[in-house]
């Protein structure tokens, strides 16, 4: 019996060690999630303050000590915002739609050509395209303004979406990396079946790169939706302005309607949040899978 008891004791001895390891892992996980939760709350604090400030009367927004939660909801702030911004909201959606559609179509065509077609000077042309990223946009502002003035584009929406469509280098690079991952056998099989180059691009290649298209579409939407500099430079008519410029209407030289301004900012950010959550899965795939074969 003594001989049998020793092996049994030896077999049971690792259990406390396993329990200790599991406890340490659990403790590490708890600390990790606690830190991540604290960081998430820190990043969400400005957003939460913006929403709560939009529901307060003006005298309570900057009160000391600060009153974080509104005592009663001032929905009149949003009513005042929607009395002013409908035309600006339409302009922003119009420009975002034109920008996203144009960027996806034009840059997917260019990316497919750089990734799948073999033509003289392809690699050199792509290198030159990437090199343009090193040119600051402020350097080309005055030449572009002169060009737009000469062709009659000043005080129109063309300068706010056409350049974004024709010179979206990041979108072209991202889509090219995805096109390069697609097996050559798919393209060869389509050519044997008699498909043209455009049919291969449209029916076979584009469905394979939907995550990248979602990521590029979100970036293009944000670029157009948040653009403040372009409308201020190229637009003179108030009715042609966009939402970021409309928010300046709630700021005067000597005072600002902070509560109404926060209500306008909340309205502005809602479409961005909706689009991100709808396309979140494809957006994350488009970023994490770039360049992975």
Which helix H or strand E contains 125, and what residues bound it? helix 122-131
Q: What is the mean pLDDT of residues 54-59?
A: 84
Q: What is the pTM of this model?
A: 0.81
Amino acid 208: pLDDT: 87
| C-alpha distance across the termini of the chain, in Å | 61
Give yes or no for residue 292 having a pLDDT over 50. Answer: no
Tallying the residues shown for the chain, one arrives at 293
Per residue in 77-122, pLDDT (tens digit) is 898 888 888 899 999 999 999 999 999 999 999 999 999 998 899 9
The residue among 84, 129, 94 whose CA lies nearest residue 110 is: 129
Which helix H or strand E contains 165, and what residues bound it? helix 158-166
The residue among 88, 108, 136, 94 whose CA lies nearest residue 217 is: 108
Amino acid 172: pLDDT: 93
Amino acid 2: pLDDT: 47
Residues 77, 69: Cα–Cα separation, whole Å = 16
Amino acid 63: pLDDT: 75
Using 50, 70 and 90 to split pLDDT, how confident is the model at 253?
A: low
Give yes or no for residue 256 having a pLDDT over 50. Answer: yes
DSSP codes, 18-84: HHHHHHHHHHHHHHHHHHHHHHHHHHHHHHHHHHHHTTS-HHHHT-SS---S-SS--THHHHHHHTT
Q: What is the CATH number of domain 78-288?
A: 1.10.3720.10
Per residue in 161-220, pLDDT (tens digit) is 999 999 889 999 989 988 998 888 888 898 998 889 999 999 889 988 888 898 899 899
Please report, for the chain, the start and end positions of each structural domain, with discontinuous segments joined by +. 2-53, 78-288
Question: φ, ψ for residue 256 (rounded to 5)?
Answer: -140, 140
Amino acid 53: pLDDT: 87
Judge whether 241 and 228 are in contact, CB under 8 Å. no
Using 50, 70 and 90 to split pLDDT, how confident is the model at 23?
A: confident
Give yes or no for residue 68 having a pLDDT over 90. Answer: no
């Amino acid at each position: 019996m003594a001989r049998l008891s020793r092996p049994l004791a030896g077999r049971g001895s690792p259990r406390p060690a396993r329990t200790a390891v599991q406890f340490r892992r659990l403790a590490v996980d708890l600390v990790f999630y606690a830190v991540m939760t604290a960081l998430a709350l820190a990043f969400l604090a400005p957003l939460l303050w913006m929403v709560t400030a939009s529901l307060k009367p003006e005298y309570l927004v900057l009160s000391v000590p600060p009153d974080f939660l509104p005592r009663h909801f001032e929905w009149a702030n949003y009513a005042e915002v929607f009395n002013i911004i409908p035309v600006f909201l339409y302009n922003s959606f119009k420009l975002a739609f034109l920008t996203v559609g144009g960027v996806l179509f034009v840059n997917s065509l260019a990316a497919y050509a750089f990734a799948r077609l073999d033509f003289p000077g392809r690699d050199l042309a792509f290198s030159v395209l990437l090199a343009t990223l090193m040119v600051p946009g402020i350097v080309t502002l005055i030449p572009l303004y002169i060009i737009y003035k000469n062709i009659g584009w000043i005080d129109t929406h063309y300068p706010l979406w056409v350049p974004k469509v024709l010179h979206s280098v990041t979108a072209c690079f991202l889509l090219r990396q995805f096109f390069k991952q697609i097996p050559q056998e798919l393209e060869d099989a389509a050519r044997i079946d008699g498909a043209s180059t455009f049919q291969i691009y449209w029916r076979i290649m584009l469905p394979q790169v939907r995550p990248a298209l979602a990521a590029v579409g979100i970036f293009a939407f944000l670029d157009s939706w948040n653009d403040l500099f372009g409308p201020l430079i190229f637009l003179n008519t108030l009715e042609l302005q966009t939402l970021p410029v409309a928010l300046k209407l709630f700021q005067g030289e000597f005072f600002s309607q902070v509560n109404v301004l926060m209500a306008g900012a909340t309205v502005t950010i809602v479409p961005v949040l909706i689009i991100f959550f709808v396309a979140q899965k494809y957006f994350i795939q488009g970023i994490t899978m770039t360049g992975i074969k």
